[in-house]
Structure 1
């Protein structure tokens, strides 16, 4: 599978790979994931089987690559708007992440429903390890904890119909990260 965090792709290659990912996503509206065949994907994407297999071994590889492309878009946006977004644990950064990935909630929830959660968590872990850890020097397991928690919050927020605003969620997350266990300490006193 392609590693979008370390390779540069030209526009044509990226376009082809995104077409394949979008084709699978569209087919997931019509069929159970397990029933989608490579022939369905290439027909919908308008590419040959040879092109598909040039990039991927499996449809899971294509979905992972498509999700990594979404994460790469998030990284590009964070870089271009870093003054507005704030630092990693800031409320504005959390709000930005929730709102950015909300655009792709349908795709993410389809992956979760298809029992492909590992694609999302693998992308989150790669983002934490390759982008956040080198910049902020936060211990890697703290980042895995934070990323997994934020991902779970996002998925549950989406599944529960987004009862709270992104800002409310961000305040809850930021408060728990800033002072974890504060309620537990109060209860013991």
Structure 2
């Protein structure tokens, strides 16, 4: 693919993502059609099917771009502890409050857990590069950590995202103190 076609494909992908997100503000995800997405984006169905197979593919790609953005925030802030990562996590999602509320409205917040699970090993290696764990131990450790973190996220979203990331950190630190007992 030449540079021009690549740029056009990227622009079309963004337009389709933006179109889907805009439609989710009005319609339930399950009711949105490919035709509606294409109309909102100002693109043809042919373009859609050249880039994606389903509307879920658009959502998955959008979630992947968010995961990359989150990883960049982590890399920039260079945290050294789980609670520091949690602060970044909640700051990140606060920036994407509208999207989080769309996921909530569509009963799709579990997507956050899935995408978090995909990026967690990379974040862990970035935060704790000297800590070597076998794959099974790391998998269980990250599942435990992400379960709690995403449970907090869901609660936070349900309560209107009123607490700051620092307040969440304090709650998390308290929970970790209790867990040590």
Tell me the distance in 2 between the aligned counterparts of 1:13 and 1:180. 50
* Aligned counterpart, 1:114: 106
The answer on whether the counterparts of 2:116 and 2:146 sit within 8 Å (CA) in structure 1 is: yes
Distance 1:11 1:149, change over 3 A: farther
Once the two structures are superposed, what CA deviation does each residue of 1:133-187 show, in whole Å capped at 9, x if it has no partner?
444346221112212221221221122023432211112213433x3425xx4xx
Confirm or deny that 1:59 pairs with 2:48.
no
Tell me the distance in 2 between the aligned counterparts of 1:35 and 1:105. 22
* Aligned counterpart, 1:173: 172
TM-score of the superposition, structure 2-length normalised?
A: 0.79
Tell me the distance in 1 between the aligned counterparts of 2:47 and 2:25. 23
The answer on whether the counterparts of 2:74 and 2:123 sit within 8 Å (CA) in structure 1 is: no
* Aligned counterpart, 1:164: 163
Gaps of 5+ in 1: 1-9
Distance 1:119 1:14, change over 3 A: farther
Tell me the distance in 2 between the aligned counterparts of 1:13 and 1:151. 33
Q: Pick the structure with more helix per residue.
A: 2
Gaps of 5+ in 2: 1-5
Instruction: Tell me the C-alpha RMSD between the 2 structures.
Output: 2.3
Distance 1:152 1:34, change over 3 A: same
Once the two structures are superposed, what CA deviation does each residue of 1:93-147 show, in whole Å capped at 9, x if it has no partner?
3222201111112212322332333422211110113x13444346221112212
* Aligned counterpart, 1:6: none
TM-superposed deviation, 1:72 = 0.9
Tell me the distance in 2 between the aligned counterparts of 1:94 and 1:11. 35
* Aligned counterpart, 2:26: 30
The answer on whether the counterparts of 2:34 and 2:55 sit within 8 Å (CA) in structure 1 is: yes
Tell me the distance in 2 between the aligned counterparts of 1:157 and 1:164. 7
TM-score of the superposition, structure 1-length normalised?
A: 0.76
Matched ranges for 1:16-165 at <5 A: 16-82=12-78, 86-91=79-84, 93-129=85-121, 131-135=122-126, 136=128, 137=132, 139-165=138-164
The answer on whether the counterparts of 2:117 and 2:143 sit within 8 Å (CA) in structure 1 is: yes
